[in-house]
Structure 1
Amino acid sequence: MAPERTSPISRLFAGKTGPVLVVVIAIIAIWYAGAVYLNAPFQMDTYKRGHIENVPVTQLVTDTLNQDRPVLPAPHQVAEEIWKTTVLKKITSKRSLIYHAGITLSSTLLGFIIGTVLGIVLAVGIVHSRVLDKSLMPWVISSQTIPILAIAPMIIVVLNAVGISGLLPKAFISTYLSFFPVTVGMVKGLRSPEILHLDLMRTYNASKGQVFWKLRFPYAVPYLFTSMKIAVAASLVGAIVGELPTGAVSGLGARLLSGSYYGQTVQIWSALIAASVMAAVLVALVGVVNGFVLKRMGMAR
């Protein structure tokens, strides 16, 4: 019996590509509709001040989607801005979006590395010490109740007072946001081995170090990478927030600030899109490393 043939569209929607495309198209359509709705009042006022009457709807929509300083820029305007500030600008140019993204990326990665190491160390201490579990874990959780916008200026001021400036203050803000998911994820992972397996290790007279490296840590690796995906995205948010109170002249946060100062909404949205793409790439890279490590450990095919 010959196998049934499926159409290309059926194969497309059988995987992840088709549904993702549908969502992207829907978002773009809603975006265009929102741009027309939000920008139309200003455009109508422009017609009124210019004594222009009986404007066709098509002309109104076209003018609304091509304003210099729209309330909500259209997707094609943001795409044009990204093209101009990436492909048509040298990477070393202060107007290059790649240049600013690189500045933000450096503090993001540094904060992510510090936060990951700190989270793992705290998790190991919490799991192996009842005193730390009772005293430290509540503080770890309560630390995230403080709004980052409130604490970021204090961190910047205090570190500048002791002579620490530049990359490290922004990295510390990223660390503040990224260590929490790693800590919680690792605590969950290190406590995930079954009691039967722990009892078996004790039966073999295994030391605490052997129990950790041969049982607890392998169980915790999937939890670690899952939490790292959250942490790297949070680290990027921290890096951008860290650039806002410093009046930075470089970085995606600086692009957001300058865009808000001069009413350049297209610039603001291009920086936001660049940040979202960077976050997606970083999360995907962590996922790739996750798959490689689990495969080497024999935990994935």
Structure 2
Amino acid sequence: MNAFRHHVLPVLTIVLGIVIAWYVGSVALNSAWQLGVYERADNTEWTITDLWTDTLNQNRPVLPSPHQVAVEFWNTGIAPLGDLPERGMRAISPRTLIYHAWVTLSATLLGFAIGTATGILLAVAIIHSKAMDKSVMPWVIASQTVPILAIAPMIIVVLASIGLKGLIPKALISTYLSFFPVVVGMVKGFRAPEAIQLDLMRTYNASSAQTFWKLRWPSAVPYLFTSMKVAVAISLVGAIVGELPTGAIAGLGARLLAGSYYGQTVQIWSALFMAAILAATLVGLIGVAERRVTKRMGVSA
């Protein structure tokens, strides 16, 4: 009971407040169009209840209501899962959110893996070389000042000119965004050991490799998982952004584009919710891995 009161109830209260504010916002933003519909139809007998109901169930609302998004998400994202045991992968058609989520997720995971590996290698080089620290680190920071929306089309065009299309360009855009938090976090983690600990390793006549694996790496593991949580979420953003300038026909970015072209705001919002669920799931999986690794290391997460 105490767990419900202290953990579940506050979350439910916030969610309820968001849903109520969302419904109020939907009515406020969509009512102007509905009043115009009544006026054009010479309908002078409408009531507040009619306005509320019609406003929250428009085909192309400015701000779709929560239940519209929920229905769209169920029909395109959850319901097809029930057909998988009988129909197999044929149930995953390009019309479902599952299909588009998988396309975006594949680019996200590839970009995240490359970005994490690149970030760790750069961090190792930076802490072992003053030249790398002075020369590379400022460029790493400066790289993130350029808007990704400006870089993405250039990456797509350049790679397409040499025959690289589809997954690789999107993964590289994800890599560009995801490697930065890993570099910064791991550099801080590798430098976390105190001077007295480093002096103790020198007293034991430990080599640089032994100092790295027995002192610096264990100290950096908590920083690694924290950085990876940020990196995987931003990697998903990079994959979606990579789909926007290409006119892609698959992926959550393509779903957003199609919805904007045809004024299907319900489709746009359902795609946004799928992206949010993907990001939360990926971050949660990294959190599970963090707890297991730190437990084996004898460190509380």
CA distance in structure 1 between the partners assigned to 2:5 and 2:149 by the alignment: 42
What's 1:225 paired with?
A: 225
Residues 188-219 of structure 1: per-residue CA shift (max 9 Å, x gap)? 00000011000000111100000000000000
Q: Does 1:49 align with 2:49?
A: no
- Secondary structure of 2:38's counterpart equals helix
CA deviation after TM superposition for structure 1 residue 300, in Å: 2.4
CA distance in structure 2 between the partners assigned to 1:32 and 1:191 by the alignment: 49
CA distance in structure 2 between the partners assigned to 1:172 and 1:43 by the alignment: 45
Tell me which amino acid in the other structure corresponds to 2:176: Y
What's 1:36 paired with?
A: 27
Specify every segment of 5 or more residues in structure 1 that has no aligned partner in the other structure, as ranges: 1-7
CA distance in structure 2 between the partners assigned to 1:71 and 1:161 by the alignment: 39
What's 1:123 paired with?
A: 123
Tell me which amino acid in the other structure corresponds to 1:251: G
CA deviation after TM superposition for structure 1 residue 165, in Å: 1.1
CA deviation after TM superposition for structure 1 residue 19, in Å: 1.3
CA distance in structure 2 between the partners assigned to 1:84 and 1:12 by the alignment: 31
Tell me which amino acid in the other structure corresponds to 2:270: S
Contact preservation (8 Å) 1:173, 1:238: yes
CA deviation after TM superposition for structure 1 residue 11, in Å: 4.2
What's 1:258 paired with?
A: 258
Q: Does 1:113 align with 2:104?
A: no
CA distance in structure 2 between the partners assigned to 1:91 and 1:266 by the alignment: 22
Tell me which amino acid in the other structure corresponds to 1:13: R
Tell me which amino acid in the other structure corresponds to 2:263: G
CA deviation after TM superposition for structure 1 residue 58, in Å: 1.2
What's 1:159 paired with?
A: 159
What's 2:50 paired with?
A: 59
CA distance in structure 1 between the partners assigned to 2:137 and 2:22 by the alignment: 42
- Secondary structure of 2:282's counterpart equals helix
Tell me which amino acid in the other structure corresponds to 1:32: Y
Q: Does 1:12 align with 2:4?
A: yes
Residues 49-75 of structure 1: per-residue CA shift (max 9 Å, x gap)? 000114211110110000000000001
CA distance in structure 2 between the partners assigned to 1:72 and 1:61 by the alignment: 14
What's 2:300 paired with?
A: 300
CA distance in structure 1 between the partners assigned to 2:49 and 2:78 by the alignment: 32
CA distance in structure 2 between the partners assigned to 1:266 and 1:126 by the alignment: 47
Q: Does 1:25 align with 2:16?
A: yes
For this pair of structures, how many residues does the alignment match? Answer: 292
CA distance in structure 2 between the partners assigned to 1:21 and 1:136 by the alignment: 46
CA distance in structure 2 between the partners assigned to 1:26 and 1:230 by the alignment: 27
- Secondary structure of 2:165's counterpart equals coil
Deviates more, 1:16-25 or 1:76-85: 16-25
Residues 122-173 of structure 1: per-residue CA shift (max 9 Å, x gap)? 0011111000000000000010000000000000001111111110100000
Residues 28-60 of structure 1: per-residue CA shift (max 9 Å, x gap)? 111111000000000000000000114211110
Tell me which amino acid in the other structure corresponds to 1:258: A
Tell me which amino acid in the other structure corresponds to 1:70: P
Deviates more, 1:84-93 or 1:256-265: 84-93
Length-normalised TM-score, structure 1: 0.95
CA deviation after TM superposition for structure 1 residue 17, in Å: 1.5
- Secondary structure of 2:63's counterpart equals coil
Identity of aligned residues (%): 64
Residues 249-293 of structure 1: per-residue CA shift (max 9 Å, x gap)? 000000000000000000000000000011000000000000011
Contact preservation (8 Å) 1:91, 1:99: no
CA distance in structure 2 between the partners assigned to 1:213 and 1:252 by the alignment: 40
What's 1:78 paired with?
A: 69
CA distance in structure 1 between the partners assigned to 2:144 and 2:181 by the alignment: 10
CA distance in structure 2 between the partners assigned to 1:209 and 1:242 by the alignment: 39
Contact preservation (8 Å) 1:225, 1:287: yes
- Secondary structure of 2:27's counterpart equals helix
CA distance in structure 2 between the partners assigned to 1:291 and 1:183 by the alignment: 22
Contact preservation (8 Å) 1:112, 1:178: yes
- Secondary structure of 1:87's counterpart equals helix
What's 1:134 paired with?
A: 134
CA distance in structure 2 between the partners assigned to 1:56 and 1:11 by the alignment: 44
After superposing on structure 2, the runs of 4+ consecutive aligned residues of structure 1 that deviate more than 4 Å are none
Tell me which amino acid in the other structure corresponds to 1:119: G
Higher helix proportion? 2
CA distance in structure 2 between the partners assigned to 1:285 and 1:91 by the alignment: 26
Residues 15-34 of structure 1: per-residue CA shift (max 9 Å, x gap)? x2221111111111111110
Contact preservation (8 Å) 1:173, 1:242: yes
